[in-house]
Amino acid sequence: MRQGWSVAALLCWLSSGLSATWGAEIVVTTSILADGVHNIVGQRLQVVSLMGAGVDPHLYKPTVRDVRRLEQARVIIANGLKLEGKMEQALRRMARRTPVIFAAELLPPQKLREVAPGEYDPHVWLDPQLWAEVLRRLADTLGQLFPLWRQEFQARAQHYALQLQELDGWIQQQLERIPPPQRVLVTVHEAFGYFGRRYGVQTLALQGVSSASEFGLARVLQLAELIHTRALATLFAESSTPVRALEGVATAVRWRGGRVRIAGPLYTDALGKPGSPEGSYLGMMRMNVERIVHGLLPQP
């Protein structure tokens, strides 16, 4: 698995004389990455996100303005593991002349979910403990690029990791309120695999780990039959994917005599609107868990 920007390449870039200056721009792909990088670099560097609230990175197509920003960036940070879809190929080509860091690929493969041979689930941020490790590794990598602030970046990442640890404990407490047989999360695409692995929640989805993956009527009927057989009562919409497909599943469940509702939406691949509670990673995760608990607790 390619890391996108090796230590040797970083040192070569540093030695070329392109030293960091105040206000140097970091361009990131997603709003979730932007939040994490902000927590590392603080006010030292300007961070610009290509994708805003509610944007699906699996299907995103860069604009002319995005291309210009990428070409002018000192550092580019993407998630990697094919989250950015076809855009990832262009980012890997840009890595020949600009430092491009694929944040999720900083993790060792054994910590990733392998969904097919050589294919990994990119949604690492939905496990706060795993996300903390990604950000610590990212702080180390940025510290090599900007050695003047290396210790500060590492300290900020460690401080933020404590907040993520607190969040992790809170999530565990909240999910314990749900009876174990009902800890089943049904969503549009398979984004919650790391979340389910961390907290003992079974996850089911209409699509695979990419919302660009295709599905047919057979998959809709298969999922509907499983939901009906297990008497699951709640499906969860997602903020960055259309709800129409999930409505088709709900209709198929009702044809079988089942009772099901669509709750949410949950935030999977993007934060909420800036300034809203879900406009930060911490707020987004808390909002998701509150909606999951409300949706899965037995209804009176």
- Domain C-terminal end among 151, 170, 189: 170
Cα separation of the two ends of the chain: 49
| Domain assignment present for 2 | no
| Domain assignment present for 252 | yes
14 and 70 in a single domain? The answer is yes
- Domain C-terminal end among 170, 189, 210: 170
- Domain C-terminal end among 170, 198, 224: 170
Confidence of residue 220 (pLDDT cuts 50, 70, 90): confident
| Domain assignment present for 223 | yes
16 and 160 in a single domain? The answer is yes
Task: For the full predicted model, state whether its pTM sits above 0.75.
Answer: yes
In Å, what is the CA distance from 213 to each residue of 49, 68, 161, 169, 279?
A: 25, 29, 33, 33, 27
Preceding omega of 265 cis (within 30 degrees of 0): yes
Q: Structure tokens of 175?
A: 């999910």
16 and 163 in a single domain? The answer is yes
Nearest-angstrom CA–CA distance, 177 and 238:
23
128 and 11 in a single domain? The answer is yes
280 and 137 in a single domain? The answer is no
182 and 252 in a single domain? The answer is yes
Confidence of residue 300 (pLDDT cuts 50, 70, 90): low
190 and 164 in a single domain? The answer is no
Tens digits of residue pLDDT in 55-114: 999 989 999 999 999 999 999 999 999 999 989 999 999 999 999 999 999 999 999 999
Asked whether the predicted pLDDT for residue 21 surpasses 50, the reply is: no
116 and 184 in a single domain? The answer is no
166 and 231 in a single domain? The answer is no
Q: What CATH number should be reported for the domain holding residue 184?
A: 3.40.50.1980
55 and 198 in a single domain? The answer is no
98 and 232 in a single domain? The answer is no
90 and 188 in a single domain? The answer is no
| Domain assignment present for 1 | no
Q: Which domain holds residue 198?
A: 177-296
Helix (H, G, I), strand (E, B) or coil at 181: helix
Asked whether the predicted pLDDT for residue 24 surpasses 50, the reply is: no
Nearest-angstrom CA–CA distance, 294 and 277:
17
Q: Structure tokens of 233?
A: 């009562």
In Å, what is the CA distance from 154 to each residue of 13, 158, 205?
A: 21, 6, 37
Count up the domains in the chain and report the number: 2
